[in-house]
């Protein structure tokens, strides 16, 4: 029985995708889980995998075409079936479009503000002494006020009218701003970041809570683990942060939720988006069920996600389903920062660098490894006390990191 290949949805706000290229030709055998095509979304280039084994019997959407989510793009048939025996599927009807909006009325022709004229030289403007004095005191350009006195003379009532209507045109010759520079069009990812971050800041009321964590024991444990780990299997500070955040979210489910029209959607899974810096911007591939995984596995899967993101090899399930995001700028020697929530999530954790600094403890000053983290929270979802308790538990886990080793 033929199996449809459709344009997947890789996020709540994805409406269409560009089929960048097919990795298989019609008639080629495919294996379940094998990448068969690449699609380009607003966030990244993502591979589509075959959901069954067989052969690619039909290519419905050609490379280079952009189609809505859910559109049939190909058909996989059972092995042994001749491609010509698979009937051509009916083209998927695109989602109905809303009726065209009536043509917008043509913008009205600019109407000079009351009193604006052809801006003759002020020196030649006929005006009464009183009108000149009033215009000067009000900061008005006398040449842009229409006179109603004899012969077009600007009189007192004309200046009074200009003041009353708020007509205060700038003096001619004053530049409105810096000279325009080169215009650089935004790429798809940059446009998406611009749109989503503006949406987040204008719809979700953010508040921020910062905590400083003693990372002495965490750094010692990391050093011991990495001392015996093969190259390529080492633990990073980000891995420990993700593990601690995931375990903390289990105890604070409100921060693992989304605000939906006066309701909270509580997510059953703890899926951590891990911000990865690319040349075009940040992308948060998702580590699923992070609360159930030991530190070593979190490190391995995080490394694989980052590698796929940096090589444009993300899979279709790498980008959707995130419930909380961790963004770490410590590798850039950033001490602390605040992050904008990645909608529709309820919170994001911004992580700074681990630095050696003096601290006062038990009546003495010593040097410790310290790290600042800031939690940004959607105030519609949680309050400051909840955020404070979350960070208190998060800090406790990192200052006693042995529990992170188990799933």
Half-sphere exposure of 182 (CA within 13 A, CB side): 3
Both structure tokens of 175: 């530049």
Does the annotation mark 379 as catalytic? yes
For the chain, how far is it from start to end, CA to CA, in angstroms? 40
Burial grade of 158 (CB within 10 A; 0-12, 13-18, 19 or more) = buried
Q: Three-state DSSP class for 77?
A: strand
Q: Three-state DSSP class for 43?
A: coil
| Rounded Cα gap, residues 316 and 217, in angstroms | 38
In the DSSP assignment, the letter for residue 400 is S
| Residues recorded for the chain | 407
**HEC string for 308-322:** HHHCCCEEHHHCCCC
| Rounded Cα gap, residues 407 and 266, in angstroms | 22
DSSP H or E segment with residue 208: strand 206-214
Contact 340, 29 (CB under 8 A): no
Annotated active-site residue in 278, 379, 389, 399: 379
Strand order in the sheet with 314-315: 66-68, 16-22, 35-40, 45-49, 314-315
Q: What angle do CA 274, 190, 372 make, to 5 degrees?
A: 40
| Rounded Cα gap, residues 190 and 333, in angstroms | 24
Backbone angles phi, psi at 35, to 5 degrees: -70, 130
DSSP H or E segment with residue 193: helix 188-203
| Rounded Cα gap, residues 289 and 315, in angstroms | 17
| Rounded Cα gap, residues 311 and 222, in angstroms | 27
Both structure tokens of 380: 């519609």
Buried b / exposed e along 85-94 (16+ C-beta atoms within 10 A) = ebeeeeebee
Q: Active-site residue numbers?
A: 379
């Amino acid at each position: 029985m033929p199996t449809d290949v459709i344009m997947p949805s890789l996020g709540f706000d994805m409406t269409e995708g560009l089929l960048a290229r097919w990795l298989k030709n019609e008639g080629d055998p495919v294996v379940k889980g094998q990448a068969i095509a690449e699609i380009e979304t607003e966030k990244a280039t993502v591979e589509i995998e075959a959901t069954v084994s067989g052969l690619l019997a039909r290519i419905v959407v050609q490379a280079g075409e952009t189609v809505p989510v859910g559109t049939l793009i190909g058909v996989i048939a059972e092995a042994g079936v001749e491609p010509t025996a698979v009937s051509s599927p009916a083209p998927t009807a695109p989602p109905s479009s809303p009726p065209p909006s009536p043509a917008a009325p043509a913008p009205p022709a600019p109407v000079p503000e009351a009193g604006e004229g052809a801006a003759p030289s002020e020196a030649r403007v006929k005006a009464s002494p009183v009108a000149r004095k009033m215009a000067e005191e009000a900061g008005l350009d006398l040449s842009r006020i229409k006179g109603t006195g004899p012969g077009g003379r600007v009189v007192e009532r004309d200046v009074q009218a200009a003041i009353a209507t708020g007509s205060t045109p700038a003096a001619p010759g004053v530049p409105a701003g810096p000279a325009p520079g080169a215009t650089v069009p935004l790429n798809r990812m940059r446009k998406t970041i611009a749109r989503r971050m503006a949406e987040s800041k204008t719809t979700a009321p953010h508040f921020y809570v910062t905590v400083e964590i003693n990372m002495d024991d965490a750094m010692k444990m990391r050093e011991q683990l990495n001392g015996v780990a093969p190259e390529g299997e080492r633990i990073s500070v980000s891995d420990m942060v993700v593990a601690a955040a995931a375990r903390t979210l289990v105890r604070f489910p409100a921060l693992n939720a989304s605000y939906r029209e006066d309701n909270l959607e509580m997510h059953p899974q703890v899926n951590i988006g891990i911000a990865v810096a690319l040349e075009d911007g940040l992308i948060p591939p998702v580590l699923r069920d992070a609360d159930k995984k030991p530190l070593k596995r979190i490190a391995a899967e995080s490394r694989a996600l980052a590698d796929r993101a940096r090589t444009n090899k993300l899979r279709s399930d790498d980008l959707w389903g995130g419930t909380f995001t961790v963004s770490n700028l410590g590798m850039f020697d950033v001490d602390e920062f605040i992050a904008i929530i990645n909608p529709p999530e309820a919170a994001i954790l911004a992580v700074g660098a681990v630095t050696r600094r003096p601290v006062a403890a038990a009546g003495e000053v010593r040097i410790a490894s310290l790290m600042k983290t800031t939690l940004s929270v959607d105030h519609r979802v949680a309050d400051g006390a909840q955020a404070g308790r979350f960070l208190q538990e998060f800090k406790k886990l990192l200052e006693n990191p042995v529990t992170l080793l188990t799933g």
